[in-house]
Structure 1
Amino acid sequence: MPSVLNTIVVGVASYLALVVLLRVSGKRTLSKWNAFDFVATIALGSTLATALTSADVSLTQGITAFLVIIGLQFAMTFTSVRSTRFKNLIKSTPTLLLHEGRYLENALQRERVAEAEVRAAIRAKGVADIDQVYAVVLETDGSFSVILERGTSNSALDGVTRNARSLS
């Protein structure tokens, strides 16, 4: 029974510590903006599971691991916001997959996306005719954005990776 009681005590304390640390560290800690954010989220979950199930890991070690992971994630996002070079090193850019009803084959192949996945994203938006779609973008978090209307000079497509030959 002491091991079960230990799991309960460490579990409650670890969970509360993680919630407090995530609240203090800000919204970006659990966002899905890039690969590093994803890794941090998985690492936090794995650390919590280890702290709960391993008698070899103390509560202090678990909380320290949370602090290290959150600290690294904070340092990465802090640096990437202030350094374009660093941001380009660790973050991907959104990619245009369909433009004015035409699939961009080079982009689909490079991103390893099938046309069926793009059609599914279009259907999820409630659109039946691909010709009604101005653009489909593969976002940095792996989701698809379906854009129905052409932008103006202040376009949401600014910063999206485009294959210039495919658009001409």
Structure 2
Amino acid sequence: MESIVEVIARALLAFAIMMIITRILGKQTIAQMTYHDFVAAITLGALTANLAFNNMAKISHMLVTLLTFGGIAYLLMILSLKNRKMRKWFSGQPTVVIQEGRILEDNMRKQKLSLDTLNQELRERNIFNIEEVQYAVLELNGEISVLRKPQFLPVTRGDLKLKMGKRQIFPIELIMDGQIIQSNLRQHSLTIEWLLSQVGKKGLSVEEVNYAVISSNGQIYFDPYEDRMSNPIDKE
């Protein structure tokens, strides 16, 4: 019975301490978790679990450890707020993955971001055609912020002079990472010869194409590996 009471007391104490530490660190830490926030959260979670359930660990030692790590997390947060260089080091910084409609493959590789993930993030923002994107930025919390091209900003159908009965299709990916997606070609009765002719019209070869897709409006979007930009944005 005494062991059960001890476990309950430990659990209540652990919960109370974590609530206090969380309140001290503030809402931003919860809403927008950065590198050091993630490390602190994992560490504090493990220590809290030990405090609650590990009867072999002394409560006093666990309390000191918890408060120490909580203090470190708070100190790093204060340093990040006061010093931009420290903030970049501890929290990281946003990374541009699409610039002026061009996918920046080097930045995506640095952030371990695949084209599939990028497309998923865009679809979650109701963007099914990648050519609509002027800029896309991978934020510190892993979310992607998107700026549409001016002609694709939200307006009425009348402003865009769209025909109400015009049929739209789901985007068909043709090339990804320089490789032809043959299953998509077969599924939509498209031939490799047709695709090669479309690539050739752009003065490219398949190996030079990072990404190609038939957009929902029926147009083909190509993104070559060579972005032909004199100053691509790289915030690493």
Shorter chain as denominator, the TM-score bin is: 0.7 to 0.9
Larger Rg: 2
Show the 5 A alignment for 1:1-168.
Answer: 1-148=1-148, 165-166=231-232
Q: CA deviation at 1:147?
A: 2.5
Q: Secondary structure at the match of 2:45?
A: helix
Question: Are the aligned partners of 2:98 and 2:137 in contact in 1 as well (CA < 8 Å)?
Answer: yes
2:99 and 2:117 map into 1 onto residues whose CA distance is: 15
Instruction: Show structure 1 runs of 5+ residues with no match.
Output: 151-162
Q: Secondary structure at the match of 1:134?
A: strand
Distance 1:17 1:89, change over 3 A: closer
Question: Are the aligned partners of 1:97 and 1:108 in contact in 2 as well (CA < 8 Å)?
Answer: yes
Q: CA deviation at 1:76?
A: 0.9
Q: Name the residue aligned to 1:156.
A: none
More strand by share: 2
Deviates more, 1:39-48 or 1:106-115: 106-115
Deviates more, 1:138-147 or 1:124-133: 138-147
Q: Deviations over 1:61-112 (max 9, x none)?
A: 3332221111101111111222233223323111111123321112112222
Distance 1:20 1:112, change over 3 A: closer
Q: Aligned AA for 1:50?
A: N
Higher relative contact order (CA 8 A, sep 6+): 1
Q: Secondary structure at the match of 2:97?
A: strand
Distance 1:51 1:88, change over 3 A: same
More helix by share: 1
Q: Name the residue aligned to 1:159.
A: none
Deviates more, 1:61-70 or 1:125-134: 61-70
Question: Are the aligned partners of 1:29 and 1:41 in contact in 2 as well (CA < 8 Å)?
Answer: no
Deviates more, 1:17-26 or 1:44-53: 17-26
2:26 and 2:88 map into 1 onto residues whose CA distance is: 22
Q: CA deviation at 1:11?
A: 0.3
Q: Secondary structure at the match of 1:41?
A: helix
Q: Aligned AA for 1:41?
A: A
1:107 and 1:166 map into 2 onto residues whose CA distance is: 10
2:230 and 2:59 map into 1 onto residues whose CA distance is: 54
Instruction: Show structure 2 runs of 5+ residues with no match.
Output: 151-228
2:65 and 2:230 map into 1 onto residues whose CA distance is: 45
